[in-house]
Amino acid sequence: MLTSFYKMHGLGNDFVILDERTGDLPLTPGRIAALAHRRRGIGCDQLVTLRAPTADGADVLVRFFNPDGSEAGACGNASRCVADLVWRCSGNATPVLQTRAGVLPTSRTPDGLITVDMGAPRTHWQDVPLAMAVDTLHLPLPGDPAAASMGNPHATFFVSDFGMVAQGDALEHDPIFPERANIGFARMDGPHHMRLKVHERGAGVTEACGSGACAAVVNAVRRGLAARTCTVELDGGTLHIVWSEQTGHVLMTGSATTAFEGTVDLAAYPS
């Protein structure tokens, strides 16, 4: 049986989006990993599913899966893509996304960019989570990273160059992160401008990570390195991040692009 999918990306962070609103699909961690494979599958940084929402006020329930088959609580770039897709399919320019990280309002800017209210960051060690009670502003690791959760775990290293990126995989698996972590490497080029590279949990280095950009700005503000309004330049493009003093929420604005639509025979992939 053929299943339709959308292939989208946010700044080169790419997604296969499957719609389960008319019926469950036979997705397993193994089949997700096979579909995400760059040579043997469609290939993507995350596979995203859409379902009917269960939360009041939400328009769609969204789940995010890494190419290793693990599920993530948040994905900023895919959230913008889903908001764009809902708008194109239904005309709703302000869809509300239900995710494991919370119910996230979205909106469109006049120039076609999409803003997602990514909610409030969590900075208590148990919420990241970390394996022990430590100050999340200064983890006891070489390089002195800070940690925060945007619904998924992030650590940010403040660096002057990107030589440390090669350590991303080892850092993702450091025992201080019981659920592993996304690892960001941020170079501050002034209080309103950050250059960021991210090694994503379960995916490796990607061209961009939306939740990673939010967490990096939050950590930079907490360190006194950034203003609450900060442009983040990633390998794949630019995100605008605002950590609102009024609401405590992080607003992320950037593009969402459809690469193509297709059909796939899920049964042809190992389950």
Ligand X SMILES: N[C@@H](CCC[C@H](N)C(=O)O)C(=O)O
209 counts as catalytic: yes
Please tell me whether 41 is known to bind a ligand.
no
Q: Cα–Cα distances in Å, from 235 out to 8, 107, 141?
A: 17, 24, 25
| 182 in a labelled binding site | yes
Tokens describing residue 78: 């895919």
Residue 75 annotated among the catalytic residues of the structure: yes
Nearest by Cα to 154 from 189, 199, 119, 91: 199
In three-state secondary structure terms, 43 is coil
202 binding ligand X? (CB under 6 A): yes
27 contacts 63 by C-beta, under 8 angstroms = no
Given 5, 64, 157, 243, the residue binding ligand X (CB under 6 A): 64
168 touches ligand X by CB under 6 A: no
157/216 Cα distance (integer angstroms): 9
Q: Is 106 in the site for ligand X (CB under 6 A)?
A: no
Q: Which of 75, 81, 214, 230 is catalytic?
A: 75
Name the region of 193 (left: φ>0; alpha: ψ -120 to 50; beta: rest).
beta
Nearer to ligand X, 191 or 238 (CB): 238
Residue 99 interacts with ligand X (CB under 6 A)? no
Residue 13 touches ligand X, criterion: CB under 6 A: yes
Give me the residues that bind ligand X (CB under 6 A), please: 13, 45-46, 64, 66, 72, 74-77, 152, 182, 200-203, 206, 209-212
Known binding-site positions: 13, 46, 66, 76-77, 152, 182, 200-201, 210-211
